[in-house]
Structure 1
Amino acid sequence: MRLAFSTLGVPGMPVDEVLRLAADSGFHGVELRAHPEEPVHPGLDRAARQRVAAQFAEAGLTPLGVAGYPRMADSGEDAPVLEEVRALLELAHDLGAPYARVFPGGGPDVAEGDANAVRRLRQAAVIAADLGVRVLLETHDSHATGADAARVLSAVDHPGAGALWDVMHTWRGCEDPEETYRLLAPYLGYVQVKDIASREDPAPLAPGEGVLPLTEVADVLTRATDAQADAGVEWLCWEYEKRWFPEVRELPALLPGARDHLLGLLAEAA
């Protein structure tokens, strides 16, 4: 399994610095936060996109995905959401990233949220497939568990749409990692991990310092049954969130330990 980390928590860090840290720490790829405050976002022109793709190629690293903010289950018109998704998917294509992340969003009306997400993801999946990428619905907010995401994706029923398993949210939803994997295996793009102190305190800790079931996650990812092997999970991505939790230690100091801990869990599980 290959390891990536996310730039979600380091707003404005130049791409060359991100790639240097990744290479020096032994990571294989980077998940890019595609927000206007970041150096990589859908507003980049073609020349800028080509430069970023060339930087990744020169560093020998993979742009795992672009993490955007379209909210697929929200109320409102479809057109603005799909326009945002298309821009995100085109950015992923231009960078050579296999995935683009979207959020569920959504509100208290589960049926409405499901219907909105299914309708929009069906259209987004076609766009994604035409571009040679996949749109991934993260287990988050209104659809925080594997059961929630699988319910939507089974109705979408298109290979261009899949799931991004954020372990913190499924665990906080009281879902066991083995059950989450069973539900999401047909749809999984990649898995995102962090660590936290408790269900009530989501402030991130270094992997291994908190209570998230990372050992169990590593176990299910390395012993898939024959029926689940087609899920083809290749990437484990560590999410760093200093952007929202300024007390978190600086990224350079945490990267080597995060890599070593995750690799140790995978090796032990294997």
Structure 2
Amino acid sequence: MHSRRHFLQTTLGLAGAAALQSGPTLSLARPAPLATPRLAFSTLGCPKWSLDTILKTAADSGYDAVEIRGLEGELDLSKRPEFSSPAALSATLRRFRDRKLSVCDLGSSAQMHHADPAKRQKNLDEARRFIDMAQQLDCPFVRVFPDSLPKDQDREKTLGLISQGLLELGNHAKGSKVQVLLESHGELVTTNYLTRIMGQAEHPNVGLIWDIFNMWVEGREAPAAVHKTLKKYIRHVHVKDARVTGNTHQYVLLGQGDAPLQEAITALRNDGYTGFYSFEWEKMWHPEIAEPELAIPDYPKAIRKYFI
């Protein structure tokens, strides 16, 4: 199981943190108001909730979709009864539709950077299982990791392996409505790496998840510049906020932190992005942050101010 705990432990020097908060960004004109952004949340934020609680909260809070990244602590969805067979998947889809919701993304744990043949095969097989599940759930996206740049592995080889894995998975999804999306994550959160990977993985069933906060705080790139470089690949967006203090950052409710979300959202809207803005509240990795009963209903209200 992959852990994101190291994200909050990343060293940010005082000068670096100050640069993130006050450094130059690209100026963008505000677009016309949009009353109804498409909203989702990741189940990473509610690792103890049942599917019934997830569906009720999503419907009651004004969400359009749910991004399924595990259920009740189990990240391998094929081990959950709700996703374990074609009949179960059909019943689960009906439960979403009964609430006028959709599944916008299945978050796999598949890592694309491995060179070891056995590890590589295991990860690709997991991603293929998720692609097959997504087709049955009428879900457009499956998320995979680029993840790391192993020190004992040639860097160019690693980047090539990630691109090759995306192409293999894109071919598995060919002919379906499912796209395999690489998330900006781990050690690959800068445009120089991501453009090289995506440029070598051109495929109609391959795209990118832009995690706005990850690329800002880890990659130290202004959101408008990131968007300008990667916009042709962006299919889905992860949104979260945090306060940056000295050499740490702490996740907080949307709008209470330092993330330049307005800059990112304005860039997306100016370019005509109509995909989901998915709330990634990392409660599973960080149990100390606010409870999902507070954070998840708060997000639809908090994000709409960025669309006024």
Q: TM-score, normalised by structure 1?
A: 0.90
1:177 aligns with 2:223: yes
Aligned position for 1:113: 158
2:131 pairs with one of 78, 84, 89: 89
The number of aligned residues is: 261
Aligned position for 1:208: 255
Aligned position for 1:190: 236
Q: Map residues 251-262 of structure 1 onto 2, 5 A cutoff.
A: 251-262=292-303
Pair 81,36 (structure 1): closer, same or farther in 2 beyond 3 Å: farther
SS at match of 2:165: helix
1:246 pairs with one of 287, 298, 306: 287
How much is the aligned-residue C-alpha RMSD, in angstroms?
1.9
Q: Indicate if the aligned counterparts of 2:184 and 2:210 stay in contact, CA closer than 8 A.
A: yes
- Structure 2 residue identity aligned to 1:263: R
2:69 pairs with one of 33, 36, 42: 33
Q: Indicate if the aligned counterparts of 1:30 and 1:65 stay in contact, CA closer than 8 A.
A: yes
Pair 83,152 (structure 1): closer, same or farther in 2 beyond 3 Å: same
SS at match of 1:198: strand
SS at match of 1:203: strand
1:160 aligns with 2:198: no
Q: TM-score, normalised by structure 2?
A: 0.80
SS at match of 1:242: coil
Aligned position for 1:99: 141
Deviation at 1:262, TM superposition (A): 0.8
Percent identity reads 29
Aligned position for 1:4: 40
SS at match of 2:77: coil
Q: Indicate if the aligned counterparts of 1:14 and 1:39 stay in contact, CA closer than 8 A.
A: no
- Structure 1 residue identity aligned to 2:145: F
- 1:124-176 Cα offsets, whole Å, 9 max, x none, are 11112233200000000121123322221111111111000011211021111
Which protein shows a greater Rg?
Answer: 2
Aligned mates of 2:301, 2:147 — CA distance in 1: 34
1:221 aligns with 2:268: yes
Q: Indicate if the aligned counterparts of 1:3 and 1:259 stay in contact, CA closer than 8 A.
A: yes
Q: Indicate if the aligned counterparts of 2:48 and 2:72 stay in contact, CA closer than 8 A.
A: no
SS at match of 2:44: coil
Aligned position for 2:305: 264
Pair 181,260 (structure 1): closer, same or farther in 2 beyond 3 Å: same
Q: Indicate if the aligned counterparts of 1:198 and 1:211 stay in contact, CA closer than 8 A.
A: yes
Aligned mates of 2:167, 2:201 — CA distance in 1: 5
- 1:75-106 Cα offsets, whole Å, 9 max, x none, are 22242222111011111111111000000123
Aligned position for 1:54: 94
- Structure 2 residue identity aligned to 1:33: R
Which ranges of structure 2 fall in alignment gaps of 5 or more residues? 1-36
